[in-house]
Amino acid sequence: MGNEQLGKLGMLVIKLLKALAAPLILVAIIDAFVRTQFTLQQGLRLIRACAVNAAVACTIGLVLMNLIHPGNLWRGQLDKMLTEVPHQELRQVADVSLDPIDNLAGYVPESFVEPLLKNTIISIVLAGVLLGAALRRLQQQTPDDPGVKTLVGAANASFRVLVTILEWVVALAPYAVLGATADAVGKNGLSVLKLLFPFVGILLLAMAIHALIYYPFIAWAWGKRSPRDYLLGCSDAALTGLSCNSSLATVPVTLKCLTEKMGVSESSSRLAACVGTNLNNDGITIYEVMTAVFLAQALSTDLGFSQQIGIVAASIMASVGMAGVPEAGLIVLPLVLGSSGLPPAVVTGIIPLIMPVDWLIGRARTGVNVMSDMVVAVMLDADDGKVQRSVAGPDLMIGASAQSN
């Protein structure tokens, strides 16, 4: 079997991932709305903390990309992909309205089916939020209604079915990586792999700045905790996340570190680690934003401020509800790149090039996500006036549990 055939086999896996991404995000958001329990005030505080962290994450990524311009090293390497793209599509990135009302109107679909057909990530998230909020309201008003129970069960079952299918597809990923890498090296030589090092390096630098500098700072400025205490308290959970590559699987360790090592109240810990993990995915956000800008630079496309803000919005929304989804960052990447206006041929062609190094980037994303959940818990605890400066003992844990009930 030749390199080209191996590449085609790899692309089949990419297409399956793209096909699963849109419905998975939709049902994940709906399921998160109906399964998690929190008050409106708690939810608003959580959203505020997550929004602050996400804004800083995106700012760090954009500043590095606009200062260093690592995508310039890839200029000329995407020419073969562009030969398959109609000329008018090459200017797709530039055709973005500067009127915020026009942009908002563009995200409102004509039907609930349209976002799934066109893979428009922001519209998918808006539809998921509306459906999830409506179903949650019905669940609160008529908890014993069999029809409502059926819809809630269907949302949860749909999510679990899609995740199961996704796990099967992810199991094929190593073969896709082999095929895609063989095809890329056969066409472009080993130089194409060398070009990945600047891409990986700039991503890891942004994640390190966010996790090791910003999080300790915000834990001190907002949560009144020393940076050293925060980093030591996070160490076990962050290392567990790096090793297992799943922020959801790390939740038990995260809760233990928050309550026992950092003295955070149980109510704040559970809200941040169990509920906030559906909203708070800074590692994925950094990855999506920087990859989109990187590719735009490689195509010699100058992204304006409004276009970069659009990418930021799509990246943040794409990460909502993706906790526990295998390879979440890689799965939603095609949707974010598509919403940024990059040519479809480039979006499809770049994924196989990134897959060989995604195992490393994915673990870094998970580590950042875990540390983000923990700093949000510290922020919520400070908001509640329950900052506990000493290590929590058994009596304190019982008291915190009583307060949360």
Tokens in use for 307?
């276009």
Asked whether residue 33 carries a pLDDT value surpassing 90, the answer given is no
Sequence letter at residue 212? L
- Alpha-carbon span 159 to 151, nearest angstrom: 12
- Confidence bin at 322 (pLDDT 50/70/90): low
Asked whether residue 348 carries a pLDDT value surpassing 50, the answer given is yes
Sequence letter at residue 51? A
User: What percent of the chain shows pLDDT beyond 90?
Assistant: 19
Tokens in use for 395?
């009596």
pLDDT recorded at residue 395: 46
pLDDT recorded at residue 99: 46
Residue whose token pair is 């590449």: 7
Question: Assign residue 331 a region: left if phi > 0, alpha if psi is -120 to 50, beta otherwise?
Answer: alpha
- Alpha-carbon span 211 to 280, nearest angstrom: 13
Reduced to 3 states, what is the DSSP secondary structure of residue 39? coil
pLDDT recorded at residue 107: 61
pLDDT recorded at residue 93: 41
Tokens in use for 175?
């073969």
Angle, alpha carbons 184-189-190 (nearest 5°): 95
Q: Which domains does the chain have, with CATH numbers?
A: 40-97+172-404 (1.10.3860.10)
Q: How many helices (H) and strands (E) does the chain have?
A: 19, 0
DSSP 160-205: HHHHHHHHHHHHTHHHHHHHHHHHHHHHH-THHHHTHHHHHHHHHH
pLDDT recorded at residue 64: 95
Tokens in use for 139?
């669940």
Beta carbons of 281 and 322 less than 8 angstroms apart = yes
Which of 12, 85, 87, 108 is CA-nearest to residue 343?
A: 85
Count Cβ neighbours within 10 Å for each residue of 204-229 and write b for 16 or more, e otherwise: ebbbebbbeebbbebbbebbebeeeb
pLDDT recorded at residue 272: 84
- Confidence bin at 374 (pLDDT 50/70/90): very high
Which of 51, 71, 49 is CA-nearest to residue 59?
A: 51
For 152, other C-beta atoms within 10 Å of its C-beta total 21
Asked whether residue 375 carries a pLDDT value surpassing 70, the answer given is yes
- Alpha-carbon span 59 to 341, nearest angstrom: 20
- Confidence bin at 405 (pLDDT 50/70/90): very low
End-to-end CA distance of the chain: 62
Beta carbons of 290 and 61 less than 8 angstroms apart = yes
Q: Which of the 8 DSSP states describes residue 262?
A: S
Residue bearing the bigger pLDDT, 231 or 184:
231
pLDDT recorded at residue 218: 96
Asked whether residue 134 carries a pLDDT value surpassing 80, the answer given is yes
Asked whether residue 2 carries a pLDDT value surpassing 60, the answer given is no
Tokens in use for 353?
């090039």
- Confidence bin at 71 (pLDDT 50/70/90): confident
Q: Across residues 298-310, what is the average pLDDT?
A: 80
Tokens in use for 160?
């679990």
Q: Which of 50-54, 87-91, 167-171 has the lowest mean pLDDT?
A: 87-91
For 362, other C-beta atoms within 10 Å of its C-beta total 21
Mean pLDDT of the chain: 76
Asked whether residue 6 carries a pLDDT value surpassing 70, the answer given is no
Asked whether residue 378 carries a pLDDT value surpassing 90, the answer given is yes
Asked whether residue 28 carries a pLDDT value surpassing 50, the answer given is yes
Q: Across residues 48-69, what is the average pLDDT?
A: 92
